[in-house]
Amino acid sequence: MKLLLDTHVAIWLASKREELSSQVKALLLDDTNTLFISIVSAWEVAIKASVGKLPDFDGGVKDFLAEMEDNPIVFLPVRKRHVAKVETLPFHHRDPFDRLLIATAMTEGMTILTADENIQEYDVSWIW
């Protein structure tokens, strides 16, 4: 299965926090799944780190990226088709980062790992 990590899932994975559901933990450990993270998540982490909202990463986005690279995770660029899909999404969610993640999952045929209830309102495959 192709799994796209929502930003908070990637943060929790990298900081080894316990908030991950047991189902998500099992999926992350299953080597038959392919794990993906959008570069937009790194951008979101950079913004949060710059305003002091990520105490788990003293080195900011650099530490976050290093943690991601220590895992078998494929980084995805933002593609034109992802941005075009954002325009067609209903406004269940106003967060531009999450809207781009939703569009990415839809266009790439991925399942989003997320605890975000707003993302769950979209016609996108998700697991928590």
Residue 93: which of 56, 51, 126, 122 has the closest Cα? 122
Across 100-125, average pLDDT = 95
Residue 116 has pLDDT above 80, yes or no: yes
Residue 58 has pLDDT above 80, yes or no: no
**pLDDT of amino acid 92:** 87
> Domain of 27?
2-127
The CATH number of whichever domain residue 41 belongs to comes to 3.40.50.1010
pTM of the model: 0.92
The total of structural domains in the chain comes to 1
Q: Cα separation of 26 and 119, whole Å?
A: 21
Residue 30 has pLDDT above 90, yes or no: yes
Residue 10: which of 48, 36, 47, 46 has the closest Cα? 36
Residue 124 has pLDDT above 80, yes or no: yes
**pLDDT of amino acid 75:** 95
Residue 107: which of 126, 127, 68, 79 has the closest Cα? 79
